[in-house]
Structure 1
């Protein structure tokens, strides 16, 4: 199995990831991780990823290669069905955006200092319920685009952390929090549907 597309896409979505960030985003097995790291080195050698200390960055050549791989992938996708499912995603995306707002602000005005465990527990229960609602739709996306299966595992991992009491995994940036994974999946869906984030932002569907 080639990991080129997954690694290049993760590098684009994460900006300046470490090698560990890239393999974590793919939720690989130990054997697959070794293979993926070899692919990372080959992409660096091919001049598609640049190394800056412990970080990696997609360069112009890598972006062009990624665009080519994504174009090929889109030819295998039922675009009509994907757009229908993306419309279904819009409703649950609105609910998730509200949940994150409620996590950050109490009554939409007061910053949540997380000193009220009952309030936070209520939001965590809402997240678990939203995850249950979203899982069947995510499964439909995976049937259309099997590469997205990694997102199923990433959401479960983030939710497990949150429900275990590590609430940073709900919305903290720079880790694979539920919000981070949601944002990256949304970017994937926008691209697969042939839409643009600017257009989606104007319609208030972008996360």
Structure 2
């Protein structure tokens, strides 16, 4: 129970205070545990940040969107990704965590590691698991993360003011191409 309590407290604390201002002592206080327990369970603030990202972005949601039969794979992927950002449960946390990842080197490392270890591994596994699959997943991620940065973090119109359906219609063809186009057409290295 302590592990879940610490993760929940960390997610809330990182979301409200960002990476730099969040302390292990504050997380321990919120979780009603001794600060040494936080270190025992997670090892470091960096590891705790990375693990708390898993409460926000469940790579299995993206895997399910890719694995689903029928329809456009890019549209399914974009729709699920936007739901993560637009949900009142996860959206505010995503904004603060992405801001932290772009302004703090430790948070950057944790976010990078989380993306490589969990998200890209899961998504590329569905695509075949080889180096091309990882590159395809990364190319799709460039469209998605860039969109999130401009739409949800920086809130720059017109991207920030488009409806979800409009955004899916605009992004899906590119994401589908990255995920499914012939390797030669994409210019993937041989």
TM-score by length of 2: 0.30
Greater relative contact order structure (CA < 8 Å, 6+ sep)? 2
Instruction: Normalising by structure 1, report the TM-score.
Output: 0.28
- Name the structure where helix makes up a greater proportion of residues: 2
Q: Which has the higher strand share?
A: 1
